[in-house]
Structure 1
Amino acid sequence: MTNTLSYPIGTPGKPWREDERNQWRVSQPQQRRYQDDVVPRIMALADRFEILTYGQLSYAGEAYTLFALRNGNPEPSLPTALVTGGVHGYETSGVLGALQFLETRANEYAGKINLLVAPCVSPWAYERVNRWNYDAFDPNRSFAADSDVRECAALIKLVAEHAGPYLLHIDLHETTDSDESEFRPALAARDGEEFEPGIIPDGFYLVDDSENPQPAFQAAIISAVEQVTHIAPPDDDGKIIGSPMVARGVINYPQAKYAMCSSLTGARFTTTTEVYPDSPRATPRICNDAQVAAVCAALDFALAHA
């Protein structure tokens, strides 16, 4: 039932200290480049969007500029929508889906809503295809007001400086097989806890806010995405990743309690997408298209029910 012993870093039952974090950092080679993959696509949008620099990260001599894009100066009479990708850097379609939305569909919402898009919140993790940041923190559990996770603090400040009212926040994620083979065992080892294996669902699903459930909103997104990719079924216990499925392809989390990114705006409509890129029925293009379909469906529903 436990394979904490198999994780190569740390002592079972003992939380990591700085020595173990350093071992973990050394074990995370750079596999792709933010400056080559992401930044040029952002800069290519300068003729259509205002590009904002909202933070600078520096980790062991490696520097990263954090970028967001907005569709012009905010119009006070319009609501605001936030789209975030790459909170978990390894979840590739979160980053590429946000960029594809900007490149192909975002102009459709000009004059309807103030768009603010942060395509790659965690560039160090993007480069290492990892869930955590340099300090071995999970950004998607660190969006508290006093967060000392640098990626989170920068995004919190950006959101505060672009006061809404926020109508919508959609946060683009993936659930991958590596969640079970690497990231959950690493979490157990880091925290000195026992690893209990779970089941990775085959298909797309959404995470709603149990403190502010919006079932019709989630259903509209599911309806749009299933035209692109398949929706995750529940396991034999009626659950998805350990949480009861409350509607087709939807589970609930208390977003603020878990300090999730989707909690930071206080928007009426919030969701976290979860694409499954490891399915034999999926391709990178399908995954990116599914994220774009989710963003557009979320925007369309929110605007229709503002």
Structure 2
Amino acid sequence: MPYLQKISFDFAAWLTSRVKLRSYADDVLTRIDALRARFDVEQYGQVEYQGVAHPLFAVRSRNWNDALPVVLVTGGVHGYETSGVHGALMFLEQSAETYAGRVNLLVAPCVSPWAYEHIQRWNADAIDPNRSFVANSPAQESAALMRLVAPLQGRVLLHIDLHETTDSDETEFRPALAARDGKPFVPGTIPDGFYLCGDEKNPQLAFQAAVNAAVAKVTHIAPSDDKGEIIGSKVVAPGVILYDYKALGLCAGMTDARFTTTTEVYPDSPRATPAQCNAAQVAAVCAAIDYALTH
């Protein structure tokens, strides 16, 4: 029987104890500005918390061609998952132009800037944006991204959403979630390595395998635990689990793209550096696009 720990949650105390630890403007916006010479950059909204506004930016292919399929790349839906943000930016800086004339790229590198700055999973309303891609979304970040993507519905070939699984999931964020929802906290385990979360309604396991094969050249793939699971979900192929994207309100379920996946990098591994984590995200994006274009 797992140990059950009941924790109370005081929202006001939680919010006032959140501390800004890094700068969205310095880390993200300066790099987006540097891309303006090569891509189209647009502000698609802004989020405001405690009187501070953060503009939301997306980067598009310069010569957008409506005859081409659309590839959607999202990062920083969970702002604390650093390589999701920096991997998306690194892809734009180093690899995106190789796909010019073959796909239309739409990249939202940092969907949740307040959470990026405060190294949090939730936004400042204690809402998880990656459970909020639903009609009448309660999360400003999710609602803004859905408005951006809405005109492209039916045209998105691939959506890859860049995430991390961290030790703080177990030490901070899952206990906070249990407390917020008035439920007991049941301790779990964090897998050591990269894995993918596919859509159980559209698994595309050959696609997931191709992405993992590319990432394995950069960092290690997470093994299953002694139950054949990763974070409590059955492993259906090496380094692959499945969630019901739409039922859970996940970002990767916001389109009806033929190919979808959510990456999960493990930055706390003693076998992976921050540079490897960023490179793993880029490898995953490139492999996903390459597979989608040939299948």
Counterpart residue number, 1:41: 31
Q: How far, CA to CA, are the matches of 2:6 and 2:274 in structure 1?
A: 32
Q: How far, CA to CA, are the matches of 2:11 and 2:123 in structure 1?
A: 11
CA offsets per residue over residues 123-147 of structure 1, 9 Å max, x none? Answer: 0000000000010000000000221
Task: Note the 1:94-133 alignment, pairs <5 A.
Answer: 94-133=84-123
CA offsets per residue over residues 77-120 of structure 1, 9 Å max, x none? Answer: 11001000000000000000000000000000000000000000
Q: Which amino acid aligns with 2:89?
A: L
Q: How far, CA to CA, are the matches of 1:85 and 1:144 in structure 2?
A: 18
Q: 2:273 aligns with which of 271, 283, 294?
A: 283
Secondary structure of the corresponding residue to residue 4 of structure 1: coil
Secondary structure of the corresponding residue to residue 247 of structure 1: coil
Please report the TM-score for the alignment, with normalisation by the length of structure 1: 0.94
Please report the TM-score for the alignment, with normalisation by the length of structure 2: 0.98
Contact in 1 for aligned 2:57/2:108 (Cα 8 Å) = yes
Task: Note the 1:260-299 alignment, pairs <5 A.
Answer: 260-299=250-289
Task: Note the 1:162-173 alignment, pairs <5 A.
Answer: 162-173=152-163
Q: 2:241 aligns with which of 227, 242, 251?
A: 251
Q: 1:193 aligns with which of 163, 168, 183?
A: 183
How far did 1:22 drift?
1.6
CA offsets per residue over residues 188-213 of structure 1, 9 Å max, x none? Answer: 00000000011100000000000011
Aligned-pair RMSD on alpha carbons?
A: 0.9
Counterpart residue number, 2:4: 2
Task: Note the 1:32-111 alignment, pairs <5 A.
Answer: 32-111=22-101
| Match status 1:301 vs 2:295 | no
Task: Note the 1:206-217 alignment, pairs <5 A.
Answer: 206-217=196-207
Q: 2:221 aligns with which of 231, 235, 238?
A: 231
Counterpart residue number, 1:13: none
Contact in 1 for aligned 2:79/2:117 (Cα 8 Å) = yes
Q: How far, CA to CA, are the matches of 1:260 and 1:184 in structure 2?
A: 17
Q: Structure 1: which 5+ residue stretches go unaligned?
A: 11-19
Among the aligned pairs, what percent are the same residue?
63
| Match status 1:143 vs 2:133 | yes
